[in-house]
């Protein structure tokens, strides 16, 4: 029985550490989720809250592994799961079926499925709490408190905030056909097309042909569409034989992102525009910057 309880306790602790890890590897996605769910007003505060939550989950996982603080950590984790569950229930009640971000991009969970996950963890925690023997009564060690503060503060070091000039694509976080997208993370290509532009249509055909040839090796590609005339996205896709995740932009955004005339394609690496093309789009996907 003791071995079984220890195994369940280990599983419960690891669930918090794993949750922290999934947010650590893709913090931008979780930040966008916090904004969408009304938990943060903008990306700056979402970034601060993300690092606080990751640090809190790391601490909970570590304290749950320590016999000295296991009972108190379990009670606190139950309270935290209860609060999160109330929020998830509200999202579920509103009909939200997108990835809630609990496990970042690594495991996509809807609010409903994440709510079930939380209930399962709460049941597991309750079982372990009442079946486990009470630890010896000891006072809280000052060194543990100092170490906890260091771990929390270190989140801003291991997950540094983006630096530098404003990111021109900051507001583009949702693309039809892909859902939430964090353009600050990894290598991504973004095309700026006018739906009625013949040059844009020709560029899309070229890129679509390259995508078919390269298959899974083709990089993540997104389109910012500006609609000026009567051409719809469906008509554009039929004409060009393409189907890329897209987002509509306003006229001022469109003209700020193109050169003298559309189209333009950007290569973005970890939130920095490293290259863009107004012609010869094949070079972006065939040669690559490192082969020029």
Is the domain of 237 the same as that of 273?
yes
What pLDDT was estimated at residue 48? 94
Domain assignment present for 164: no
- Residue 169 located in a structural domain: no
pLDDT of residue 289: 47
| 108 lies in the same domain as 197 | no
- Distances in Å between the Cα of 145 and the Cα atoms of 18, 117, 141 are 23, 30, 7
For residue 248, what is the domain's CATH number?
3.40.30.10
- The reply to whether 139 falls in a domain is yes
113 with 142, same domain: the answer is yes
Would you state the pLDDT for residue 166? 66
pLDDT > 70 in the chain, percent: 94
Q: Which of 101, 125, 158 is the last residue of a domain?
A: 158
Residue 250 and residue 139 share a domain: no
Residue where a domain terminates, one of 158, 186, 214? 158
Range of the domain at 263: 174-291
Total domains in the chain come to 2
Last residue of a domain, one of 158, 183, 198: 158
Q: Say if residue 208 is in the same domain as residue 263.
A: yes
Per-residue pLDDT of the chain (292 residues; tens, 9 = 90+): 578 888 898 999 999 999 999 999 889 889 989 988 989 988 889 999 999 999 999 999 999 988 778 888 999 999 999 999 999 999 999 988 888 889 988 888 999 999 999 999 999 999 988 888 776 666 667 888 899 999 999 999 999 887 655 678 988 999 999 989 999 888 999 999 999 999 999 999 999 999 998 988 899 999 999 998 889 999 999 999 999 999 999 998 999 899 888 999 999 998 889 999 998 888 888 754 444 4
Q: What is the pLDDT of residue 216?
A: 87
Confidence (pLDDT) at 290: 42
Residues 16 and 119 in one domain: yes
Residue 130 lies in a domain: yes
Q: Are residues 238 and 181 in the same domain?
A: yes
- Residue 146 maps to a domain: yes
pLDDT tens digits along 190-230: 999 999 999 999 999 999 999 998 988 899 999 999 998 88
- H helices of the chain, in order, are 2-25, 27-36, 43-65, 70-93, 111-131, 142-158, 198-214, 233-240, 251-257, 282
Predicted pLDDT of residue 70: 85
According to the model, what pLDDT value does residue 59 have? 94
CB 223 within 8 A of CB 211: no
CA atoms of 80 and 123, how far apart (whole Å)? 14
Residue 163 lies in a domain: no
**Is residue 62 located within the same domain as residue 110?**
yes
Same domain, 137 and 249: no
End-to-end CA distance of the chain: 64
Q: Is residue 245 part of a domain?
A: yes
Cα separation, 174 vs 258, whole angstroms: 20
User: Does residue 178 share a domain with residue 135?
Assistant: no
Based on the domain organization, do 136 and 220 belong to the same domain? no
Based on the fold, state whether residues 52 and 145 are members of the same structural domain: yes
CA angle 266–194–254, rounded 5-degree value: 60
Q: Is residue 63 part of a domain?
A: yes
């Amino acid at each position: 029985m003791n071995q079984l309880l220890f195994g369940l306790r280990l599983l419960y602790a690891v669930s918090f550490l794993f949750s922290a890890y999934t947010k650590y590897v893709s913090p931008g996605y979780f930040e966008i989720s916090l904004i969408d769910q009304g938990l943060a007003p903008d990306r700056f505060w979402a970034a601060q809250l993300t690092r606080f939550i990751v640090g809190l989950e790391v601490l909970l996982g570590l304290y749950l592994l320590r016999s000295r603080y296991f009972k108190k950590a379990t009670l606190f984790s139950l309270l935290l799961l209860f609060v999160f569950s109330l929020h998830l229930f509200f999202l579920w009640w509103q009909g939200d079926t997108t990835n809630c971000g609990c496990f970042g991009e690594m495991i996509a969970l809807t609010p409903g499925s994440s709510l079930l996950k939380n209930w399962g963890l709460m049941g597991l925690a309750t079982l372990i709490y009442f079946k486990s023997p009470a630890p010896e009564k000891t006072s809280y060690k000052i060194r543990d408190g100092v170490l906890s503060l260091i771990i929390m503060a270190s989140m801003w070091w291991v997950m540094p905030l983006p630096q530098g000039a404003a990111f021109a694509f900051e507001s583009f976080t949702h693309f039809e056909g892909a859902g939430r997208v964090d353009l600050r993370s990894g290598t991504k290509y973004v095309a700026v097309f006018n739906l009625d532009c013949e040059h844009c249509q020709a560029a899309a055909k070229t890129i679509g042909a390259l995508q078919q040839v390269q298959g899974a090796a083709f990089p993540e590609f997104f389109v910012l569409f500006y609609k000026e005339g009567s051409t719809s996205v469906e008509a554009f896709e039929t004409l060009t034989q393409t189907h890329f995740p897209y987002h509509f932009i306003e006229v001022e955004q469109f003209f700020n992102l193109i050169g003298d005339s559309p189209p333009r394609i950007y290569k973005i690496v970890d939130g920095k525009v490293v290259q863009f093309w107004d012609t010869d789009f094949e070079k972006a996907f065939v040669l690559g910057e490192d082969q020029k």
